[in-house]
Amino acid sequence: MNIALALSPLLVVGIGALLLMLAEAFSTNPSRDLAGTGGTGGLALGATTVLFTSAAFACTVWMVGVENVGDVSAVAPWLILDRFTLFFDITLCLGGGLASLLAGGYLLEHRIDRGEFYALILFATFGAMMLAAAGDALTLFLGLETMSIGAYAMTAFRRASARSAEGALKYFLLGSFAAALLIYGFALIYGATGHTDLAGIGASARSAGGRSPMFIVGALLVLVGMVFKVSAVPFHAWAPDAYEGAPTPATAFMAVAVKAGAFAMLLRVLVLALGDAGWTSWASGWPPVVATLCVLTMTVANVIAGRQESVKRMLAYSSIAHAGYLLLGVTAMMQNPAQGIASVLFYLLAYTASTAGAFGALILCGSFEREAVSYEDLAGIGKRHPAPALAFSLFLVSLAGIPPTAGFFAKWFIFKAAIEGGLYWLAIIGFVNSVIGAYYYLRVLVFMYMREPAAGAEFARPMRSGYVTAALLVSAILVLALGLTPTRYLDLAIGAATFGNG
Amino acid sequence: MPIEQYAALSGLLFIIGGVGFIVRRNVLVQLMSIELMLNAANLALIAFNRSHVRPLAGSAGAASALPSHTGQVFAFFLIAAEAAEVAVGLAIVLALYRLRRTIRSDEADLLKN
């Protein structure tokens, strides 16, 4: 019973996903192949309810205290149930819930109103939560695959669109290539140490076997597989295409939940399996590799994002750039474990709210059945439709890192952790990059408020959807709450920054 | 056969798969290359399982030292996950073929910078 309470966030999403799939299969939906007339609206509500309930369960377990709900060692080492897991449960359910709210409006508008989408969101969120809890290479791989397979299918969801299929193909090929690298790496590590559980690998890494060539090659393959999944440059090639091709709610889901799941995996593996003094030193460990990736990711993604003409693709590159800032926090973790991890957790929460909101505003501003919105399409929208434009501005300001929004404090804590860890030059590069990044976010604002549409151009007419509006409201409240009382949430993140229940 | 030979074979398979994925442009061949890489991981897991005989938790003494089947069990899960992945992958390839009449990954070029 107690273990059921500790596992309740996972159980709620898993059982909810199965029930939702059943409900979808047995519902007689007359609008199946006709123009969407609201057949699956209930499913969007159902998926959102399941995910927010799961988040509420995670909050409850957090407040009761994981150590008080009973013996969680029954699922060890497969799943680790600690505050870190709970924090990710909340973040992932929030991201998934916002994505299903967005889907509730978007799928109808674009006439791909099919209920499978919500089941896919739930299963993919389940995979991401399992990934965040994984303490063994086996559960890690299963969680990763559950998450990724759902995301591949969601990317290809616009079946009549060649762009959607192409984005899904690229995502699938590179994603499964990365998974193959990751799992072969774990196989080699298993050969070198005899362990597949991360803590056991970590214990062996400290001993003599931790420096055998097989272990080093294995660790390298695992690292490459993981940075593929977090879309760090130069392993980012799939990300912009998959993000642009996917239906926008799926893009929001990938940018938010899939990325958070991947970072949970990265943190777990780096701390538990490769967290000893040798592997975390500058001379002989992973920090220089991660720091190089971090600089490359921030710089390349920011420069390319500034050159985009499609706002959706710009947001795709911006999400890669944010992976760069997050990697800065991961690098800081080496000198300054608690601060580094806490800053990454806080950043992920702030980034989830801002990004889901930005994609939601993009959905709202896109005119009927068109979705690749260019900067010109947004011209003048600030005057004609002030409310969606205001929401879009808030989320972009947060992504750019301007106070008093969540994004500002998220960046602040990351840079602070880096400086306290002695990584001055990395913090400076990060700061310069966030200034470069502000350019393309503010460019959207300039178009919305200061430009008039070209003569004769079609006006973008915001759609009306209760679901999208609800998603925007939730994200806006979160962005402001995280921006106005950041220390409260940072304390929660610091509480979540220790692994295990110690 | 000693473990080293299995390990070498699995390494060889992995490299063939990896090179195949990178140099070939036919999506189906790329899919097969990924399968080859995953099977190399399976082979490695099963082979290494032989060299890691540990006492099971709860059993005492060397007499009851049974092989822990971590690697072999892992391989079973891997096979199932691979099957699910390929099912989705082939569906995506079919969707692309219907729309573009091609299964070459270099001809899927609608999305660019």
What pLDDT, on a 0 to 100 scale, did the predictor assign at position B112?
73
% chain A with pLDDT above 90: 62
Residue type, A335: Q
Distance from CA of A358 to the nearest CA of B (A): 21
Which of B48, B52, B92 has the CB atom closest to A169's CB atom? B92
Distance of CA A262 to the CA centre of its chain: 8
Q: Which of A362, A352, A355 is nearest to A311 (CA)?
A: A362
Q: What is the rounded distance in angstroms from the CA atom of residue B14 to the CA atom of residue B37?
A: 5
pLDDT band of residue A113 (cuts 50, 70, 90) is confident
- DSSP-derived letter for residue A7 is T
Q: What mean pLDDT do residues A339-345 have? A: 93
3-state DSSP helix/strand/coil percent for chain A, to nearest 5?
A: 75, 0, 25
CB contact under 8 A, A163 and B44: no
What pLDDT, on a 0 to 100 scale, did the predictor assign at position B42?
95
Task: List chain B residues with CB under 8 Å of A245.
Answer: 111
Gap between the terminal Cα atoms of chain B: 52
What pLDDT, on a 0 to 100 scale, did the predictor assign at position B66?
60
Does A402 map to a domain? Answer: yes
pLDDT band of residue A453 (cuts 50, 70, 90) is confident
What pLDDT, on a 0 to 100 scale, did the predictor assign at position A28?
63
| Chain B contacts in chain A segment 273-332 (CB below 8 A) | 304, 307-308
Q: Which of A44, A45, A58 is nearest to A12 (CA)?
A: A58
CB of A159 less than 8 A from some CB of B? yes
Q: Are A491 and A57 in contact (CB under 8 A)?
A: no
Does A191 map to a domain? Answer: yes
Domain residue limits at A39: 12-495
pLDDT tens profile A29-81: 555 544 444 456 688 888 999 999 999 999 988 988 877 777 777 787 899 98
Tell me how many degrees the CA angle A257-A260-A264 measures, rounded to the nearest 5.
Answer: 135
CB contact under 8 A, B100 and A307: no
Average pLDDT, chain A: 89
Q: Which residue has the higher pLDDT, A328 or A275?
A: A328
Does A158 map to a domain? Answer: yes
Find where tokens 């609008």 sit: A31
- DSSP-derived letter for residue A501 is T
What pLDDT, on a 0 to 100 scale, did the predictor assign at position A39?
58
Does A169 map to a domain? Answer: yes
Q: What mean pLDDT do residues B14-21 have? A: 96
Distance from CA of A482 to the nearest CA of B (A): 34
Does A5 map to a domain? Answer: no
Give me the domains of chain B, ranges plus CATH numbers. Answer: 3-53+69-102 (1.10.287.3510)
Q: What is the rounded distance in angstroms from the CA atom of residue A328 to the CA atom of residue A350?
A: 16
CB of A173 less than 8 A from some CB of B? yes
Per-residue buried b or exposed e for B78-87, using 16+ beta carbons within 10 Å of the residue's own CB: beebbeebbe
Does A7 map to a domain? Answer: no
Q: Are A230 and A266 in contact (CB under 8 A)?
A: yes
Q: What mean pLDDT do residues B74-87 have? A: 94
Instruction: Inform me whether the pLDDT recorded for A367 exceeds 70.
Output: no
Task: List chain B residues with CB under 8 Å of A173.
Answer: 21, 27, 30-31, 34, 89, 105
Q: What is the rounded distance in angstroms from the CA atom of residue A128 to the CA atom of residue A95?
A: 11
Does A379 map to a domain? Answer: yes
Does A434 map to a domain? Answer: yes
CB contact under 8 A, B41 and A194: no
pLDDT band of residue A255 (cuts 50, 70, 90) is very high
What pLDDT, on a 0 to 100 scale, did the predictor assign at position A30?
52
Q: How many domains does chain A have?
A: 1
Q: Which residue of A lies nearest to B76 if distances are taken between CA atoms? A: A138
Q: What is the rounded distance in angstroms from the CA atom of residue A436 to the CA atom of residue A301?
A: 10
Of the residues B69, B74, B77, B90, the best mutation for testing chain A's interface (the one with the most A CB atoms within 10 Å of its CB) is B74
Of the residues A148, A169, A314, the best mutation for testing chain B's interface (the one with the most B CB atoms within 10 Å of its CB) is A169
What pLDDT, on a 0 to 100 scale, did the predictor assign at position B62?
47
Q: Which of A129, A136, A139, A142 is nearest to A14 (CA)?
A: A129
